Amino acid sequence: MKWLKDPDLMTTVAGWEAIFWFVAAFPVMIWFSNSVPLLVFVSFYAIVRTAFSMWQAGYAGRQQTEEVVQRIDEVTPDGG
């Protein structure tokens, strides 16, 4: 699942997803205003999306840390 680790692709997906939810939010709220399944779906979606975002942030942080350590190793002479 290398596509999950591609920051450009995931940024594009997140952008289109944000546009979709922005456009769909008001019609969906009006259409299903008294719907319990909609509330359950939105709550579940928020939990899943938050967990996925946290995973992406952790992966990006780990990659950045590895790059910084590698760069420091290149610049700093070996002391041992």
Query: What amino acid is encoded at 47 in this protein?
Result: I
Confidence of residue 50 (pLDDT cuts 50, 70, 90): confident
- For 23, how many CA atoms within 13 A lie in the half-sphere containing its CB? 6
Buried b (16+ CB within 10 A) or exposed e, 7-31: eeebeeeeeeeeeeeeeeeeeeeee
pLDDT at 69: 83
Task: Indicate the pTM of the whole model.
Answer: 0.49
pLDDT at 5: 67
Does the pLDDT at position 15 exceed 70?
Answer: yes
CA distance 57 to 62: 9
Task: Average the pLDDT over 52-67 and give the result.
Answer: 79
Does the pLDDT at position 1 exceed 70?
Answer: no
Domain residue ranges in the chain:
2-75
Does the pLDDT at position 80 exceed 70?
Answer: no
